[in-house]
Copies of this chain bind each other. A is one copy, B any other.
């Protein structure tokens, strides 16, 4: 293998695939980036067996071939070659090392054989759906933070992507709270249902930098694939049945409160300063014209009233303040509606206008 590439191209390609390098593995090839030279392209690939990223750059090739370089080391090194117009990658020596030549300097890096590197399936046929990049980013940003971090129920470490009647619904939940976001698709799509690891969804949104263009999801054999600007991203899907979330979300409520999202958020943040040492527990007394926010711990007490308007019964209820703040941040809109059924029933939060987003939070039972 011998080829010459541009330093900036190389650095940005390595930065892209590096996201898929495994950090904790017993298999050294998963810590590597595969370099593969064919025709006038250098292709870089990395995978941790869950996600895989592959991208190609223009190359002036003298000899085709492939090898594996240590991902972290190679990535750090090429960052310092961005100013080099011409970087030669050369494996023609007989010492099994990659020679990198630039200006009048040379560097030798240890390599592994590319034979053991897992192959990435890119020949998928089943088209899933297409969506505007900005819509996808919006949906993911507003839901995925509710995915579970807990290994004990692996299915909850992913979010459900469900396409039905040309609407994408994304749902994430962790046993304490749930987030749901919907978007209409512009092009008609067949129905489709997958559970995608939260990490993969976050990495995908980082690849999307053209808000007004569409991104197409393709799927086969429990793998989901997207292609963006010559970069291919694949991720394994989570197997199993997702929670039947429709059963969890109540549709009738005793009380509905309308409140300024920002004013409520500011108040919760102040209460959190004190509540932090008490597992973030805050108490709300929902009255006709205000929500009374209370937090107390050894270091102090917060007691604030936030103007609001209530339809229905007064309710006293306690929450993890972080879950409430996260939901308010996600909901957008100037005002939100909070729907309640008493102090031990789940609460639902929606933006005042529109039905695109919904958050559900379980309250905390506290002694009266």
User: Residues on A close to B: CB < 8 A?
Assistant: 70, 73, 76-77, 80-81, 83, 97, 103-110, 266-267, 269-270, 273-274, 298-305
Are A273 and B73 in contact, with the CB atoms below 8 A?
yes
For A76, list chain B residues within 8 Å (CB).
273
Q: What B residues does A301 contact at CB under 8 A?
A: 107-108
Q: Can you list 21 pairs linking A and B with CB atoms under 8 Å apart?
A: A70-B299, A73-B299, A80-B266, A80-B269, A80-B273, A97-B300, A103-B304, A105-B270, A105-B302, A105-B304, A105-B305, A106-B303, A106-B304, A107-B270, A107-B300, A107-B301, A107-B304, A108-B303, A109-B299, A109-B300, A110-B300
By beta carbon, the residue of chain B nearest A106 is: B303
Q: Smallest CB-CB separation from A76: which chain B residue?
A: B273
Closest chain-B Cβ to A266's Cβ sits at a distance in Å of: 7
Task: Give chain B residues whose Cβ lies under 8 Å from the Cβ of A298.
Answer: 110
Besides the known contacts A107-B304, A110-B298, 19 further A-B residue pairs in the complex with CB atoms under 8 A apart = A70-B299, A73-B273, A73-B299, A77-B273, A80-B266, A80-B269, A80-B270, A81-B270, A83-B266, A105-B267, A105-B270, A105-B303, A105-B305, A106-B304, A107-B270, A107-B300, A107-B301, A108-B300, A108-B303
This protein's copies in its complex = 2
- From B73, B273, B300, give the contact of A300 (CB < 8 A): B73
Nearest chain B CB to A80's CB is how many angstroms away? 5
Is B269 a contact partner of A299 (Cβ separation < 8 A)? no
**C-alpha spacing A300/B99, complex, angstroms:** 9
Chain B residues with Cβ below 8 Å from A103 are: 304
Check if A107 sits within 8 Å of B302, measured CB to CB: yes
CB closest residue in chain B, given A304: B105
> Residues of B contacting A107 with CB < 8 Å?
270, 274, 300-304
In the bound complex, CA of A299 to CA of B302 (Å)? 56
Q: In the complex, which of the residues A83, A299, A300 has the most CB atoms of chain B within 10 Å of its own CB atom?
A: A300
How distant is the Cα of A73 from the Cα of B80 in the complex, in angstroms?
A: 43
- The chain B residue with its CB closest to the CB of A301 is B108
